[in-house]
Chains A and B, each alone.
Chain A
Amino acid sequence: MNKNLSLINKVFLLKKTPLFSTLSLEMLLPIADKLVIADFDAGDEIFNIGEEAHRMYFIVQGEVDLFIKDKKIVQKCKHGDFFGDESLFNDLPRRYQAICLCDTLMLTLSRTNLLTIISECPSVALGFLAVYTSPDYVRSRL
């Protein structure tokens, strides 16, 4: 697994996520600069239900399963997907647990940075709304 993602690689990844797909390279570069690389082994817990939230996650490589109580799977996330964002907005503890299915490489974004991005690029907020209102999206109902 390549853990040394360059700024440009991060930009490529962002451009493919629905949240940032409409942004120009000039806007994507400063955002990518704030993404922190995180790597997890298979079976690692990224966060658990009830924990305080500070960051959201974008999957670069690998798969992550999101569970609610009783180990019931809510969603399987793969390359290009993101999770852990809800608690950054509602300031509530994590409502689901995130566990890596295999060795996983992710990019993380802090709450402060996310809020700054949204205030600078309203299209990102629209991207979130589009995701939250999609019929397949179940995490908001947890």
Chain B
Amino acid sequence: MIQLFCRLFNLYPGEEKQAFMFTVLAFLWALAVTSHLKFADALFLLHVGSDQLPIAYGVSAGVMIILASFLLYAFHNIDTNKVFLGVIAVAAANYASIFFCYIYEWGVESKFLWYYLRITGTISLAIFTTCYWTFVDQYYSLQDAKRLFSLFTSAIFLGLATTGTIMHLGLVEFEQVLLVLIGIMAFVTFLVNYIHSIVKPVHDENSLQESASQGDLSVIDVIKMISNSPFTMLLMVSNFMIYITLVVTEYNYLASFESHFPSDVPLGANEGEQAALTLFLGKCLIGVSISNLLIGLFLYSRLVRRFGLRSVLPITGVILLLNYSGWIMVDSISFAVVALFVVEGTIYVIDDSNFNLLLNGVPPRLKHRVRIVIESFFEPTGMLLSSGLISLVMFNPLWLGWLLAAIVITLAIILGYQYGRAIYRNLADNAIHFHKSLIDWINPRDQALLLQTLKNGDDTTKLIAAEGLMVFEDQNLLKALMSAADMESVNYKINLLRLLHHSPISDHSIVIETLSRWYEVDESPELLSFIQFYLASLGFVHPEKALQDVDSADLLRKGAAVLALKKTWAHLSPTQVVQNRALAVQLQEEMLTSQDEEQVVLGLTLIGIEKSPHDAELLIPFLKDWRAKVAVKAMEAFASVADVHYFKHFRMLSNLLYKGTSSEFRQSTIKALCNVGGTSAVKEIVSASHLFRPQERRAAEKEITTMGLRTVPILLGLMKDVQLHDRSRIFAVRLLSRLALPQLRANLADIVHREIERAYFYDHHSALLKNTTSKVDLTILIETLETSYRLVVDFIIHLLGEAGEIEDSELLARSLQSRNPKVRSQVLETLEKTCPREIFFLLYPLVADAPESEKQRASHNMKELRISFEELLEKLCNSSSNLERMVGAMYKQQLDLPSWRESLRKQMQSKEEIFHHFAYELLEA
């Protein structure tokens, strides 16, 4: 029975109690607030008349704008539950005051009471709606919201339906209703407190305010943030238009009802005419509420999950447009009833639910502010505007309604298209853009600050400022940079030269002039050596000047001499040039054959600076040097000099890619492989990429994407290769998405279906084994299956992320592992918007926080899942993963399954060294 109940209302096991409490809360406040409003409506029409409605709208709007400011302040500075409790207390006090006014007929004569009732009724509904949803939103993620918020919306309608029933039956007098409402407010206070004490909120990291002062946003900040989010602006405009449409439609149907029912009936005439309109409204409300309940409980969430939010957005606009099209031609009460159905029904049950989901596309820090602005500022402003529009004689309110409905449809369609992007944008706010280069970050406005820092900063900040200024490659900035360095310490100057040496402006005339000046005036030998080396590497040191340093004990000076002798040819006779080069080669050889590591490193550096392909062979012995520094420098030099002529070393380089541990070494190896092997390097690099660190991956990505479309067939093959490590396949997918997105998408469905089946396979068997008793401990087997499951899901997410042009699929996969349910639900929403629907339906139970039963239902037709335990072990033994092969073999041995030894020997045909070790140990055991 409970299961059926849960299925009916989309509840997952364990969340029944919490959902029940929020449902009861929604029902109770809605019953109270709609009783107030609907009685106020009826009494206002009877005692004041619909022609005075614009005045009531106008005053309500003005008061709400003031109250909304208080509400914004309150939500920013006080806990949400406390704000909600405060509103409930004010409402209770309001009902008590209305009760006394009504009993003693205060304000009846002047009609003040009916205005007050109508105005406070409208305001209460808006404020309670804002407070309730802000309160609920603390406890649910977006995916929960999709399943459950329509249940809460339905509870609100149940409240409205109950109000309609009470009005229709006419059993209860208004003063009695008011007393009940006070009682309801008391119970609601208890319920809010109880919920707050037992339910743990789900925080949104980005909107979080651990204290009131944190992330304090000024009005200007909020406006800036809104203007930077097209989706937020669109959502606000759309809601504004919906609200204007609502008020105009409400006016139209009330005017139509008034024309069918007599008015100006004195208070106290309980029979006949006075009751007719109240009873009719009551009947309508019951009908509307029942249909709303059915839509809210059973239809809305299923529609959203089946067809997506985008398909549901235009419903209200379409109904209204069709209705107004008929209404304009025939003034029938049936059109007025449909209009009432929209205003009291679809706008709340569909558009409000849509709004609650759409709010997740708003930047998290703005979310609650936007809700208040829309519900408390826009609604009254819309009310004011619509009352003005209605009052204008030139506008026929029915034509106005038709026009507004058309605008609402248009906005809904645009909003639907923007929603997916907005959701991803929020998720991407967590992404750190390490791939951006300096020029992407630093803009010309920073120049003044950087120049200022050069004058006032310490050495650390000055060097950062210098690096930042070099990005602009501007002559004036460079002049300022070099002049500022004039008075700095030797250490600073050397560090500055290091930065300059690797920059594109290393040989700028201003740099050379400054260095020459420093060389003349500075007395620090360390700096002079560095300058000498710097200038020599650019060919600015005369060989004659260099000759005096060939025997120098200072390595930099010696290195500078070698460079000068090698590079400087001007004004020398050919004989002299040959002699100089011979001397340089001799000195370089001495360095390379030296026992001193520093000398070897210098020798290798000189080869790297000269970039002569003929020297590449000299570097080969050093690539495998046991001294890390030597190997790194050798590979760096090799990467800068080697080309296709050195393809014979391709295999050796490929092996070094696996063996190298330092990041610099690996990055240089990647470059060398690409220089030597061209597209042949792609397979080697991608295969090894599961070992790469982020920087290495970025370097490899840069090298391979530079090769262009010729790499696409290779990458497609690698992506499909199930024998390859999943991380390597992910890297191939990433490269493909950069180079050939259409090809990636064309191959997507097959791969993803296969991978989803793999994921279900691992998940199903790990769940099954948890409930299995065995004579051996199955823990390792279960954990292996769970690990494989996670890896496959990770691969699928990367694949879908890249194919969906998600900038950072790594972030998507990592966010899915987040402890924060709101972050996880954003991943699902992004996937839903970017991947094909049939794939999403298959994937959903795997990645959502869904119970096991959901997964079992989804995998019902997968035959591969129904295999025996022995077959499972056999499958693991034949897997491409070393871990699965080992675990499969180990369990076969532990259970002493027939012919496990033969099976293991067969497995040993693979060349994996580590597996051989394992297999021998198992056989000996």
Residues of A within 8 A of B (CB): 6-9, 11-12, 15-16, 21, 25-31, 33-34, 36, 38-41, 44-47, 51-55, 91, 108, 110-113, 115-117, 119-120, 122
Contacts and interface: CB of A to CB of B under 8 A. Distances in A.
Given A8-B442, A25-B438, A15 B432 contact: no
Interface in B685-744: 693-694
19 contacts: A8-B450, A8-B464, A8-B465, A12-B460, A15-B461, A15-B464, A16-B460, A26-B437, A29-B436, A30-B436, A36-B214, A36-B215, A46-B211, A47-B210, A53-B210, A108-B214, A110-B205, A110-B208, A120-B432
A33 B210 contact: no
B230 interface: no
Nearest to A52: B203
B90 to A, nearest CB: 28
A36 B213 CA distance: 12
Contacts of A110: 205-206, 208, 430
Contacts of B637: none
B522 interface: no
Contacts of A8: 442, 446, 449-450, 453, 464-465, 468
Contacts of A44: 211-213
Contacts of A40: 211, 213-214
B670 interface: no
Nearest to B446: A8
A44 B210 CA distance: 12
Interface of B: 203, 205-206, 208, 210-216, 430-434, 436-438, 441-442, 446, 449-450, 453, 457, 460-461, 464-465, 467-468, 693-694, 811, 814-815, 818-820, 823
Given A30-B434, A112-B815, A120-B694, A55 B461 contact: no
Nearest to A32: B441
A112 B438 contact: no
Nearest to B466: A25
A34 B210 contact: no
A44 B216 CA distance: 13
Contacts, number: 107
A67 B312 CA distance: 52
Contacts of B432: 30-31, 33-34, 113, 116-117, 120
B211 A54 contact: no
Which of B210, B431, B468 has the most A CB atoms < 10 Å from its CB? B210
A51 to B, nearest CB: 7
Nearest to A108: B214
B436 A38 contact: no
A102 to B, nearest CB: 13
B468 A91 contact: no
A25 B811 CA distance: 22
Contacts of A9: 449
Contacts of A113: 430, 432
Closest 8 A-B residue pairs measured CB to CB? A29-B441, A38-B214, A40-B213, A12-B461, A110-B205, A120-B694, A47-B210, A25-B467
Contacts of A27: 434
Contacts of B819: 91
A30 B433 contact: yes
Contacts of B437: 26
A138 B206 CA distance: 29
Nearest to A29: B441
A119 B449 CA distance: 31
A83 B450 CA distance: 28
A7 B815 CA distance: 25
B460 A38 contact: no
Given A108-B214, A112-B823, 9 more contacts: A8-B453, A12-B461, A12-B464, A15-B461, A40-B214, A91-B819, A112-B818, A115-B814, A116-B430
